[in-house]
Amino acid sequence: MGGSERNHSLAEFAPAGANQTESIFGRNSFLPENPAIAASVEVSARGAQRRCDPDRPGAQRSGSGSKISNFHTHTCYCDGKDTPRELAEEAVRLGCPALGFSGHSYTAYDPDCCMSPEGTRAYLREVLALREEYAGKLDIRLGLEQDYYSEPPREEYDYLIGSVHAVKKDGEYLIVDWSRDILLRGVEKLYGGDIYAFAEDYFRLVGDLWERARCRIIGHFDLLTKFNEDGSLLDETHPRYLRAAGEALDRLMEAPVLFEVNTGAMARGYRTTPYPGPVLRREIARRGGTFIRSSDCHRKDQLLYGLADLPQPGEVFADQP
């Protein structure tokens, strides 16, 4: 779309009461009104929550869904609960055409939730072996969730998911999605309590993901809202928040990327709507962005969680990276 449209404020597209929780099940809840946007959906691209306890109270199980694929899948090599084989078996049971694995890239600032260098090599070997074994039954893709602060991968992957899980400020890493208390303490210490200054830094990194990582998918665009279900952390219609998110989109809309609609925080009981939030989903769609459905799976019984309730391919979302 033309550059002039990109100069509009995101606030123009915030519906009344947008800071309230919105159901994803309404027919027009976040479908673009412009049919040209839907017609532009890419369905033949080349190549093919982390930091949370999936056993926490409120976490939900996946429903079955035939003919739905998932390309954001974590295994026991990082912070997932299951082996690649167990996940592949579940994908076959559910009738998935394809399954993409996307282990967390090694991050020296937080090694507990990512794959170690040795684990990365073992992950590659196992996924590639499974791809051969399951040929004809399940299309297995080898991916990586590339953290903003990770070194560029040395191995060849079918696709990369680019994600921001931390913001580096004054030499310290503030992890975005570890817990609400950790986030608030970090914002107080590093930003003097200015949550919107933190959001501005976060979205600057998100806007740089394509240039930095050459990723095919932008992971959970607004992950910083993980603990904002009640709207008390920040106002997602605040001008500073919307300006920062809009500037990130200005950069990413020029890149050949897909935007995740990610149900991971829903599966684990933190949110009732997917990432990105409704205002940002509408704006990405208005700009002609292409979406991909993702469960951000960390355990096999949540492999397709919530994906059947999202719009189908040919409407808003692409179905493969």
pLDDT in tens, 147-168: 999 999 999 999 999 999 999 9
User: Does the pLDDT value for residue 315 go beyond 80?
Assistant: no
pLDDT by residue (tens digit) across 185-234?
A: 999 999 999 999 999 999 999 999 999 999 999 999 999 999 999 999 99
Mean of the pLDDT values across residues 245-266? 96
Closest alpha carbon to 275 in 288, 293, 300, 255: 293
Structural domains of the chain ordered from first start:
21-318 (3.20.20.140)
What's the angle, vertex CA 101, arms to CA 97 and CA 107, rounded to 5? 165
Mean of the pLDDT values across residues 261-274? 96
User: Does the pLDDT value for residue 291 go beyond 60?
Assistant: yes
Instruction: Supply the pLDDT for residue 67.
Output: 84
Instruction: Supply the pLDDT for residue 130.
Output: 98
- The answer to whether 162 touches 146, Cβ cutoff 8 Å, is yes
Instruction: Supply the pLDDT for residue 309.
Output: 87
Mean of the pLDDT values across residues 28-50? 27
- The answer to whether 227 touches 287, Cβ cutoff 8 Å, is no
Greater model confidence, 27 or 7: 7
Residue position matching structure tokens 């159901």: 23
DSSP assignment of 116-181 equals: -HHHHHHHHHHHHHHHHHTTTT-EEEEEEEEETTSPPPSS--SEEEEE--EEEETTEEEESSS-HH
Instruction: Supply the pLDDT for residue 304.
Output: 96
Measured distance between the N- and C-terminal CA atoms of the chain, rounded to whole angstroms:
22
Q: Identify the bridge partners of residue 172 per DSSP, sorted by sequence position.
A: 169
pLDDT by residue (tens digit) across 167-189?
A: 999 999 999 999 999 999 999 99
Computed over every residue of the chain, the mean pLDDT equals 82
